[in-house]
Amino acid sequence: MLAIVCPGQGSQTPGFLSPWLELPGVPEHLDSLSGQAGLDLIRHGTESDEETIKDTAVAQPLIVAAGLVTARVLLAGRPMTAATVVAGHSVGELTASAISGALSEQDAVTFVRVRATAMAEAAAFLPTGMSAVLGGDPDDVAAVLARHGLTAANSNGGGQVVAAGTLDQLAALAADPPTKARVIPLKVAGAFHTHHMSPAATALQELRGSLTPMAPTATLLSNFDGAPVVTGEGNLDSLIAQVSRPVRWDLCMAQMEQMGVSGVIELSPAGTLTGLMKRGMRGTPTLPVKSPEDLAAAAAFIDEHSRTPDPVISPIAEGHS
């Protein structure tokens, strides 16, 4: 059984879209997405420096656009069915929603435009950030984060938790880390997936009336609890709430293992999630699609891991994430 995963903020690097622009149809696709996003995504994906594309208002639309471009090239002529699992980490969940059919591409880009701007504005109110906590006893890590008033914003599995809060709280964590754990500051400009992002959730709630959510045709997993999404409205509820509540990527991986996923492909800008999955889903083959050079191997990988029967999935409550 195949899973397709879509990375989140921090996965972008300067110039990563350049080789994709050599493929037929990609410049036109990116130009269309740029118009919807209100950004020159081609320039940001080929010429802009690291500092520019780290800006939340730029990074999030750029990452979603990259995933949509990769998916269109890679999955052309391959209809999405429940036999394929799709999941995204943080803003990557928007990419996953579009690929799975839960949102149109246009709605996903509209959503990420508002999301990115609102989260950047929320982050400007108070200096906040995020740090990865690697290793340590889980109970001790939780206790230390609580002592410093931090939120476990991302539970990424494999012994990695991302702490989020004010810069002062993160500095205190760096000076007083959990036993046998490393604390690594992340290049993000806010305490995402915490109460600090509540204004962004309000802005997205105001947007929802203009969107047309649909039931996914692929098996779309939720960042809330890893469970398969049932309804389009429920998925939209979850996407809105996601900006101010923790991402449980560990539960998404656990769900994939339970469903019998035999191979995982990560869309561009790829590498971060397959790295996490090598630790969190040990022994499961992964393939990051970083450039067009990976397309032939990815097509063979998809064929190999799409030969299993459709999964049997227990339905969850109407309106659940």
| Known catalytic residue at 291 | no
Q: Which residue carries 């992340």 as its tokens? A: 186
The identity of residue 133, as a single letter, is V
If phi over 0 gives left and psi between -120 and 50 gives alpha, with beta otherwise, what is residue 157? left
Contact 96, 88 (CB under 8 A): yes
In angstroms, the Cα distances linking 159 to 141, 155, 271 are 10, 9, 18
Pairing of strands 263-266, 286-288: parallel
225: closest CA among 93, 119, 37? 93
Residues 198 and 203: their CA atoms lie apart, in Å, by 9
Q: Which of 11, 34, 90, 97 is catalytic?
A: 90
Contact 250, 156 (CB under 8 A): yes
* DSSP per-residue codes, 120-141: HHHHHTS-EEEEEEEES-HHHH
**Residue 269: cis peptide before it, omega within 30 degrees of 0:** yes
Q: Which of 193, 196, 305, 320 is catalytic?
A: 193
Q: Residue 221 pairs with which residues in a beta bridge?
A: 228
Residues 213 and 90: their CA atoms lie apart, in Å, by 18
| Known catalytic residue at 262 | no
3: closest CA among 295, 308, 233, 242? 308
Catalytic annotation, residues: 90, 193
